[in-house]
Structure 1
């Protein structure tokens, strides 16, 4: 019975170890890799997909433009990451404006498909006297592979588009400033799939993640698989120990 108790203690300890590790891997945001000191943050934006300016994960890009312009940036997102795009807009002087305006950010994948925001305020109206507004868009977790008909986010380049979707005609052309920052959270193996892309979408167009493209080769499902194998082995040993004593008592001759 002592051996059984020891096995039970080991099994419970293993379950607690792996069970406690999973939430940390799945729920704790991973610090976004920042650009090195030699990589200055962008101070401009493109005006179309083809001229989008590359920004690294965790890097804050800035730009000055005219109200009514379309601003474009691009950033990389790898498998297992959940991108969030934050934007801050410093509006023109209130005295020069003639009414309210509405601003919006949209995020597109490497195939230029607009991805829905699961969380955040991607569109917001500003009164004439409002000085700044903040927008955000959190996408679905990026998966390593998906069917061709699916719109699931895939590893590769993502595009940010920022513009005023509504403003008085007389306010077009007024100067404003924008700040955007793409940040990543690691979702762990909760959204892992079997399979991966041969090449991330549009990977040649933008900067790669600081650690390179993982493309889903590692997930914390490996830990769960190892934990399951360990617990199964312990259960087998425990079962054998419990049933071994139910046979013929030792020292009793056959036929007795």
Structure 2
């Protein structure tokens, strides 16, 4: 009975530790969150034309911009460790009567070191027919890691640049007006992607060594703590292993005791 009570108590304790991790895993299986619909969270209405002038946006915030066919449009958003960002873009094309053929549009995502990050999946480039009204693009990045080898190009916490442009269209269509919508969302990949170690600072270009930064940079320079559900699973495993050792020790001692001889035998 004593061993049974020990195992029951251990199971309850392990369940308490795993409850947050289980909830995280359940959330992980849910679809990516939708963009914010609150009026106070309206996104910017312009885009930069270079990396240095990229317009800052937050995750779950839709940004818009009016431009001309042939322009390079840049936005930048923050991403933290264990997040898997998805970038979506929609381009509203000029009236079909003004166009002379199909056009090909493309989005690229670069990290804080301006290294282009590969898309795991999604429609990164797409060709719109001459009579199409719009074109939609998407890019799902790899999960952001808290630390990586210097030679690796793994995505790391910090700034991520989005570049949207047309890569092919009739020359006569250059300069025609277009409008663009861009948003970045993330799903939490959980502690399965956690690693030991972390960057001293997120990869945010333009932040000086003494910590001075302008208002836009301050919005991007953030990074959460290194807690993840990996710690909960590790602690629960250690607790169960200890309880199993106690139970095994009790069973071994019980099997070694001499059996009682009934009186008068």
TM-score, length-scaled by structure 1: 0.87
Segment drifting more, 3-12 vs 58-67: 3-12
Shift in Å, 1:41: 1.1
| Counterpart contact for 2:43–2:62, Cα < 8 Å | yes
| Counterpart contact for 2:28–2:187, Cα < 8 Å | no
Shift in Å, 1:195: 1.0
Residue correspondence of structure 1 range 160-239 to structure 2 within 5 A? 160-202=162-204, 204=207, 205=217, 207-208=219-220, 212-214=222-224, 217-239=226-248
Pairing partner for 1:117 from 95, 110, 119:
119
Change (3 A) 1:219 1:30: farther
| Counterpart contact for 1:103–1:162, Cα < 8 Å | yes
2-structure distance, mates of 1:207, 1:147: 27
| Counterpart contact for 2:54–2:76, Cα < 8 Å | yes
2-structure distance, mates of 1:68, 1:241: 76
Pairing partner for 1:146 from 148, 164, 167:
148
**Matched residue pairs, number?**
248
Aligned to 2:92: 90
Secondary structure, counterpart of 1:246 in structure 2 = helix
Residue correspondence of structure 1 range 13-162 to structure 2 within 5 A? 18=18, 20-21=22-23, 23-24=25-26, 26-28=28-30, 31=33, 38=40, 40-162=42-164
Shift in Å, 1:233: 2.0
Shift in Å, 1:29: 5.7
2-structure distance, mates of 1:195, 1:160: 27
2-structure distance, mates of 1:143, 1:32: 23
In structure 1, stretches of 5+ residues that fail to align are none
Shift in Å, 1:7: 4.8
In structure 2, stretches of 5+ residues that fail to align are 208-216
Please tell me the root mean square deviation across aligned C-alpha atoms, in Å: 2.7
TM-score, length-scaled by structure 2: 0.84
